[in-house]
């Protein structure tokens, strides 16, 4: 059945006749809430009418009238979809990353209520870059980030008496947008709750590999039945971002590295008790910050920006954060890192995390969380002298104190035990000590080639290039046949072998006219995923002015 075919329903043939029935009763008056609003003389004389009417609205929505002068906190999220009380879908979200966020919003709201505050919840949902790959929807991906950041900030300011803002978001553009919005609220306490990750499947393919099923089927590498089954099993839980360290997961890491999120909150398993606990404790942290007078201005500093860049390199993060982090820092009024800054950090900082798609073992993001996540990686970086330990976090404590706590935390010990007990994987195989990373030959995360095609510089996730195509010095040095395309779908068709002159090993796919001055700098994962999972794809390079998905691998220069 075509996805656009709507089955005929005879009961709805005559919509006008159906409207003849009037559901009753119809209530035409109400006495309104019982009680009195706690106005005083000064409020009535001097407060804006909006403050007074807002209290009327709060009572009308069911808040106890006598308690409408409590401190007000805003909870913003990218929640999407609608579920019944049992969790079954009534209306689907755009993706799993925002489908369970209502639970986190509820936990945070109760946390604020229990500490004497009034929570207000506002929403601006977000799209899925995976869903829009290869479609016109991808043209809206990067612009959405800026649009949503504006909307979130307007929503925060629309509760004029708010004394703190909590942002809950998960995925590629929604979480960067949330960080941008909260970074701009310099004089308010702000906290980010990362939306977490989905579970890895036990009987299918991960959400990176499955996006190449069309190309692999076209080349006869998988059967129709296999494609049907693995694609069905891929998204193994209804909530959370993808199982790989793409842009969504990297954004969660960056939120925590900036100090905007609680320690060990990035990459938690969505919908589980440990994830809900993070939302509740994050709300408590927000109330605590408000009481202490600590605002975003105290958290987002040059020290925090340095730490975020270091963690990006140590994790092997998505190249999209080279766009998103400067945008966050700009909103905070901080200097944006230059290309030279990124180069310096990537020369100094070893990659320490073995995670999809970077390898070598390609563990899912949940394993990284259980192995210790961001604070575990920070312990190694602290010992290497690479962090600014004076940075303040939303705990109200310095990073130095946070890491001293983590080093001896029962939480750290227990979760590392869980990883080994449930999977047999040693946590130190996932988050590698620096010496072990060197032994495995793991390279720095990104490099920034310059040349006649990109005199101002470019970026490639060098750590994700297959070692088999590097020379003895670890350099990708090839002379390739240029295959130039101006439309992504033509390049993909050629890779699938559907053209008279298909892309072959030894070619470089040059996709042009897709940048900010072209089609809007859309992602090209449909193209790079096909190459990643075809047996000969490592022998093909890509050069483009478009963006790469955070999960892209190979010699992809953009």
Same domain for 432 and 516, yes or no, is no
How far apart CA 443 and CA 445 sit, in angstroms, is: 6
Which 3-state string (H, E, C) describes 264-296? CCCCCECCCHHHHHHHHHHHHHHHHHHHHCCCH
Say if CB 554 and CB 531 are below 8 A apart: yes
Domain that holds residue 497: 465-557
Same domain for 168 and 281, yes or no, is yes
Asked, for residue 75, whether it belongs to a domain, the answer is: yes
Same domain for 364 and 506, yes or no, is no
Same domain for 411 and 481, yes or no, is no
Same domain for 544 and 433, yes or no, is no
Asked, for residue 210, whether it belongs to a domain, the answer is: no
Strand ranges in 309-351 using DSSP code E only, listed in sequence order = none
Asked, for residue 213, whether it belongs to a domain, the answer is: no
Same domain for 401 and 507, yes or no, is no
Same domain for 424 and 500, yes or no, is no
Asked, for residue 160, whether it belongs to a domain, the answer is: yes
Tell me what pLDDT residue 7 has. Answer: 61
Beta partners for 75?
121, 166
Of the three residues 403, 438, 473, the one that is the final residue of a domain is 438
Asked, for residue 216, whether it belongs to a domain, the answer is: no
Asked, for residue 456, whether it belongs to a domain, the answer is: no
Phi, psi at residue 506, to the nearest 5°? 95, 0
Which positions of the chain have pLDDT values less than 70? 1-13
Same domain for 308 and 399, yes or no, is yes
Same domain for 251 and 398, yes or no, is yes
Phi, psi at residue 206, to the nearest 5°? -70, 170
Same domain for 415 and 470, yes or no, is no
Same domain for 495 and 430, yes or no, is no
Query: In this structure, what CATH number is given to the domain that contains residue 498?
Result: 3.50.30.80
Same domain for 117 and 157, yes or no, is yes
- Tens digit of each residue's pLDDT (9 = 90 or more) over 283-303: 999 999 999 999 999 999 999
List CB contacts of 274: < 8 A, sequence separation 6 or more.
Answer: 268
If one counts the domains in the chain, the total is: 2
Asked, for residue 302, whether it belongs to a domain, the answer is: yes
Which residues are part of the catalytic machinery?
549
Asked, for residue 7, whether it belongs to a domain, the answer is: no
Please give the structure tokens belonging to residue 557.
Answer: 């220069």
Pairing relation of β-strands 82-83 and 89-91? antiparallel
**Cα separation of the two ends of the chain:** 39
For the entire predicted model, the pTM comes to: 0.94
């Amino acid at each position: 059945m075509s996805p656009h075919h709507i089955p005929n329903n005879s009961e709805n043939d005559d919509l006008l006749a159906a409207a003849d029935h009037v559901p009753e009763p119809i209530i035409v008056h109400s006495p309104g809430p019982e009680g009195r609003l706690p106005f005083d003389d000064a409020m009535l004389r001097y407060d804006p009418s909006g403050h007074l009417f807002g209290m009327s609205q709060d009572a009308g929505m069911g808040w106890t009238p006598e308690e409408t002068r409590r401190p007000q906190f805003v909870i913003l999220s990218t929640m999407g979809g609608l579920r019944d009380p049992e969790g079954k879908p009534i209306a689907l979200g755009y993706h799993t990353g925002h489908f369970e966020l209502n639970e986190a919003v509820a936990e945070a709201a109760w946390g604020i209520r229990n500490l004497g505050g009034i929570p207000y919840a506002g929403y601006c949902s977000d799209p899925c870059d995976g869903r829009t790959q290869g479609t016109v929807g991808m043209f809206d991906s990067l612009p959405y980030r800026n649009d949503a950041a504006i909307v979130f900030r307007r929503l925060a300011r629309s509760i004029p008496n708010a004394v703190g803002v909590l942002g809950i978001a998960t995925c590629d553009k929604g979480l960067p947008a949330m960080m941008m919005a909260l970074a701009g609220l310099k004089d308010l306490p702000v906290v980010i709750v990362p939306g977490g990750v989905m579970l890895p499947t036990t009987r299918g393919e991960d959400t990176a590999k499955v996006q190449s099923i069309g190309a692999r089927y076209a080349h006869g590498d998988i059967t129709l039945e296999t494609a049907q089954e693995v694609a069905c099993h891929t998204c193994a839980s209804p909530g959370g971002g993808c199982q790989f360290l793409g842009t969504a997961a990297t954004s969660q890491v960056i939120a925590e590295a900036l100090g905007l999120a609680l320690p060990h909150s990035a990459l938690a398993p969505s919908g589980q008790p440990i994830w809900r606990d993070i939302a509740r404790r994050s709300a408590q942290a927000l109330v605590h910050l408000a009481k202490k007078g600590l605002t975003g201005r105290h958290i987002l500093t040059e020290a925090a920006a340095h730490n975020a860049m270091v963690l990006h390199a140590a994790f092997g993060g998505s190249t999209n954060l080279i766009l998103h982090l400067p945008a966050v820092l700009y909103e905070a009024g901080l200097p944006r890192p230059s290309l030279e800054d990124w180069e310096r950090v990537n020369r100094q900082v070893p990659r320490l995390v073995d995670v999809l798609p970077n390898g070598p073992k390609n563990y899912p993001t949940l394993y990284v969380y259980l192995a210790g996540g961001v604070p575990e990686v920070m312990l190694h970086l602290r010992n290497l002298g690479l962090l600014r330990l004076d940075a303040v976090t939303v705990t109200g404590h310095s990073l130095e104190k946070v890491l001293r706590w983590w080093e001896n935390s029962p939480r750290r010990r227990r979760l590392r035990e869980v990883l080994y007990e449930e999977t047999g994987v040693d946590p130190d195989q996932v988050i590698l000590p620096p010496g072990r990373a060197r032994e495995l030959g793991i390279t720095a995360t990104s490099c920034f080639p310059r040349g006649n095609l990109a005199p101002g510089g470019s970026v490639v996730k060098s750590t994700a290039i297959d070692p088999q195509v590097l020379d003895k010095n670890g350099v990708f040095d090839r002379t390739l046949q240029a295959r130039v395309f101006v439309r992504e779908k033509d390049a993909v068709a050629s890779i699938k072998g559907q053209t008279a002159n298909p892309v072959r090993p030894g070619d470089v796919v040059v996709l042009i006219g897709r940048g900010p001055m072209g089609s809007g700098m859309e992602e090209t994962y449909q193209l790079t995923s096909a190459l990643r999972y075809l047996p000969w794809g490592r022998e093909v390079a890509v050069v483009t002015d478009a963006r790469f998905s955070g999960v892209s691998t190979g010699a992809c220069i953009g």
